[in-house]
Chain A
Amino acid sequence: MYKFSYGNLKEYSRLLSAFVAAEKQKGLAVEVGNDLGIKVTLSTLLGLKGTDQDQVAVLVQIASRSQLPFENAENKVVWSGWFCCISGDDLLESVPEDFTCLSLFLANGAESYTAIVGSWFQKTFDCYFSRLTISPLNLAWMAAMWTGCKVDSHMAATELVFSVPCIPQSLDISYAIHSEDAKALWDTVQKTPGEVTQEEVNLFMDCLYSHFHRHFKIHLSATRLVKVSTSIASAHCDGNIKILHSKHLIGVLTLLTELAISQIQ
């Protein structure tokens, strides 16, 4: 982002509020003086960084006041999004001055708000938003890495969802493996704890494909992996992420930051 200043967050909040309100009112016949009750706040999230060099994360929240007269005039958060960059410094080339680099943006809430906020940031700071698409290769990495994570509480199954292309009727295959068994398989594949290689991920996936083929005679490798779900987090190829375990938040965000940066370059 060009000429983004952490000191001006209050000013940005005010400008963005006005922008969101204006966008929401477009096309509506609005009486003069009618207030949609939308308030936007920008603030910093101090704990959300991987290394000290990372830029401070920025949280954007849209709160809306209920319009009905007899309800409490409380502000309810209807949308939130935040910018962050976790351990991105070694991946990014030196960033010129005047530029702040927060490569990962996560949004939670109505798609319309996401679009409005995105367009304001793009106009104001000359940056660019695009959806993070995750390739089957990266999804397979996530499946392997997250299956291997130790979780103290109850572990959910490792689920892989495949979509079959090129046939007249669409077909989805969900392959869910019991968490202990999946972890046992990954543990025998992984040679050095803490290190994951492409060969290991490939072997893990090939084992799963082969067990499946033995039963159903279907080559899962010819289908498209579209979603991965584990106890840690779940990820869909169109960029929808669910983070389920707070202990591993930074780990997941690091991975996503890496993907985001590689998509920029």
Chain B
Amino acid sequence: MDETVAEYIRRTVLKIPRCQIMEMLTMWEFLSKTQLQTINVHQLKERISQAVVELCEVITSIVNDQIVSNSHNFVFTISGIFSCITGEETDSFNLADFKYKFKRSLRSALKNVTINFREYEDNAIWIRIAWGTQYTKPNQYKATYVVYHSQTPYVFISSLRSSIPLLCQALVHASNYHDIHEMELRSRCIDSLKDIVFKRYSQTFQTYHPRPLQERNVAPEKVDPRIIQENKREKERIQSVNQEIFGEGLQPKIEFAQYKLETMFKGEPEMDILTEKEPFRCVVKFSSPHLLEALKSLAPAGMADAPLSPLLTCIPQKARNYFKIKERKGILSASCLGP
């Protein structure tokens, strides 16, 4: 077995916390039950990892079945694939054909590259690519992961690198599409990215005629009548507007949004100080463990107006979280001029 691969396996096992080793090794599925039983997890970790490597030496197919477990550590970028209808119905997706074409395309451009495939039940194909150069072996530690759902025109790629054009070329060739372009949507959570592009979150429908609040027959609570809730109607209005904009269910999970603003400075009418003709350039970044939920809670907390700006609420619909906003003649709107 290749020394770099052996070393990689050894280091990966060392990184796993002792209590999770057995679980992880079972998940990887390349060691048989009897082999797993021979590993003693109570010895020094060095010895454990060495034992795993020795067991792997026996299996030559190790390279074809790599580990795809730490997906939550990657930041995924979406690349969208555009299909071009050529007039004839494409055949049903052929996995073997796809793999062959992908490998051939990539290998013809770059000799030193490790490619592994893994299929999952939900028609997702995970591709792991370790990149080398003309003179060096593939670097197993900085692999790129690609997730392709064969029934959709979307590809998710972890970590943008200089080798992306080669990768895109291979993907286009293998999938029989014509072109591929990058979408401005990034997140750590691939499931959320899928939710957004596959429109799996609870969507809202724009209402142009806001409904008046309906009176509900609620039994009056036994509260001291001297206590009045301030701005009760306003609070209810905010709740209802929020609901209309964000929908009922849980928002897809993204961690950040970035806006590059190149609009003219304009404060309140009384502070019309800057008479510059140049735009006021700034970059605004929002970050949160769960950004959309946080934004949703701003108006009820009194820190934002309801409805919240469409620049923020359009994130799931427009499937992007990187924006460049320029001044538009007339009213400022969510005009996203991007690449």
Give the interface of A toward B (CB within 8 A).
157, 164, 166-178, 181, 184-185, 188-189, 203, 206-207, 210-212, 214-219, 222-223
Bin the interface of chain B by size: 35 or more
Q: Which residues of B, 260-312, contact A by the 8 Å Cβ criterion?
A: 261, 263, 265-268, 271, 273-274, 276, 278, 280-291, 293-295, 297-298, 301-305, 307-309, 311-312
Please tell me if B332 contacts chain A, counting CB pairs below 8 Å: yes
Residues of A contacting B287 with CB < 8 Å?
A: 171-172, 174
**Contact of B284 with A212 in the complex, beta carbons under 8 Å:** yes
In the bound complex, residues from chain B placing their C-beta under 8 Å from that of A218 are 298, 303-305, 308-309
Chain B residues with Cβ below 8 Å from A188 are 273-274
Set B261, B267, B297, B307: member contacting A210, Cβ < 8 A:
B267
Known contacts A166-B301, A184-B276, A215-B311; is-contact A177 B281 (Cβ 8 Å) = yes
B189 at the interface (CB under 8 A from A): no
Are A175 and B273 in touch, CB under 8 angstroms?
Answer: no
B169 CB to closest chain A CB (Å) equals 36
Q: What B residues does A215 contact at CB under 8 A? A: 259, 261, 263, 284, 309, 311, 325, 332
Chain B residues near A (Cβ < 8 Å): 259, 261, 263, 265-268, 271, 273-274, 276, 278, 280-291, 293-295, 297-298, 301-305, 307-309, 311-312, 325, 332
A136 to B301, CA, bound (A): 20
A181 to B261, CA, bound (A): 12
Give me 5 other A-B pairs in contact (C-beta within 8 A), A214-B332, A215-B325, A219-B303 excluded. A171-B294, A176-B285, A178-B281, A181-B281, A207-B267
Residue of A nearest to B308 (CB): A217
Closest CB of chain B to A187's CB: distance in Å? 10
Partner of A217, one of B271, B285, B290, B305: B305
Chain B residues whose CB sits within 8 angstroms of the CB of A175 once the complex forms: 282, 284
Q: Find out whether the CB atom of B271 lies under 8 angstroms from the CB atom of A203.
A: yes
A176 touches B282 (CB 8 A): yes
Q: Which of A166, A172, A178, A219 contacts B288 (CB 8 A)?
A: A172
Write the nearest CB–CB distance from A100 to chain B, whole angstroms. Answer: 45
Bound complex: CA A211 to CA B283 (Å): 12
Q: Which residues on A sit within 8 Å (CB–CB) of B261?
A: 215
